[in-house]
Each structure stands twice: as structure tokens, then as C-alpha cells.
Structure 1
Amino acid sequence: MSEKTIFQKIIDREIPAPLVYEDDLVAAFNDVNPQAPTHVLIVPKKLIPRVGEATAEDQATLGALLLAAGKIADKLGIKDRSKGFRLVINHGKDAGESVPHMHVHLLAGRPLDWPPG
């Protein structure tokens, strides 16, 4: 068995991290290295190493990640269209992936440039 990712350790409560949101399929917490005033990581409880490795059986989990993003944005008061937020999923090292456990970045609180990167 391979070593748990830091996200699995947070989900399993082995590493303390205040949760912004949690349900049966996902957990969300603030990024320790925020790239915006609001930077929340939304993580599936099931280990999916990266989005390109998700399977058809992961459909409910993938949908739960996006639904959780909307709930979190509403809770944080950033769902309003005039404020807005961005969702990002990185796949692989060159895309910025640093933890091999798929997750969605929810970023808000400042104007976000386009194109990114």
C-alpha cells in the first residue's frame, strides 16, 4: 500500500485542518499557500490521483465536487455574479499539480487574469 497523500490525512483527521465544507463524498479546506484572498481546496474523499484517471464509476464524485463549489461560494458570499470565483483542476506536474490527489481550487477575492499561467 502506498503512503497516504496529505489530503487523505486531512480527510482521515490525522492532520488537523478546519473544514470549510464536508459531505459524504468531499471535504474542503483553505489552501495553506493561497493564491487569492479566498483559496479553498475541494477534495474527493475517494482517492482519484488526477482528473484524467477518473472512471465512469467516479461520475457522482466528480459532480459532487462542482456542486460543493457552488455551496461553498454561497456560504462565503462570493457566488454573486458581480464578485465571482474561478475553479481550477491541475493534471500533472507541468500543469501545477503538487499533490497526486485530484482536487478543485476555488479562487476568489481579487480580479483573476486571463489567460492564467
Structure 2
Amino acid sequence: MQQLFFSEVLPQHRSMATVGMTVWLTDPPPSLTSMQYAMECILQEITAVGSSLEGLDSGISALMTKTKSICLDNAGFQNCVTDLEHRVTTVESRLTEVPETRNFPFYAAR
């Protein structure tokens, strides 16, 4: 299998969430460091864009499901997932409180 390196992924995608999901879905499963990087990429875009998350909901759900299945054998992954869930929930609640952020220009330009 071809190994995916961050230096190869980053120039090809302007969306950090896309980078995160690309790194996440490599086969064989990525290392813990790669998983954390993928989560950070996704969270970075969610936080920066301030969107309603409509376009990322399905990606986040898939991410959670995949992570939880991997976590069963690794306590480190479980800690990552718990942190990710907490942070996504926090971002979602903030976006609900500030509805005007849902029309952020970044998504309008896509």
C-alpha cells in the first residue's frame, strides 16, 4: 500500500477537513499521530469557518464511528475520541448560539 505523507496531501487540498479525512482514511490504518493530525485538521476548519456544520455532519459521524471501532483496542485512541467529541459538541453549541456565523463567506465561495 502507498504511504500517504502530509507533504503530499497539503498542496493538493485547500480544505483542511479534506486533508484530515484523506489522512484518516488511509489504509493501513494511520498511526495515533496521524489520527490526531486528522482530527486537528477537521476541527481547525470547523472552528475557523463557523458554519452550521451541515456539510461536515456526515464526515464527522463517519469519523466517530471509525475511531470508536479502532479505539476498542487502544486506550490512547479512546482518549482522542473523547476529546474530539467534547470539542465538536462545544463548537456545535457555539454555532447554535451565533446563527449569523452560518453564512461565512468561505462556504459561499465553494
TM-score (norm 2): 0.34
More helix by share: 2
* Structure showing greater relative contact order (alpha-carbon pairs closer than 8 Å, 6 or more residues apart): 1
More strand by share: 1
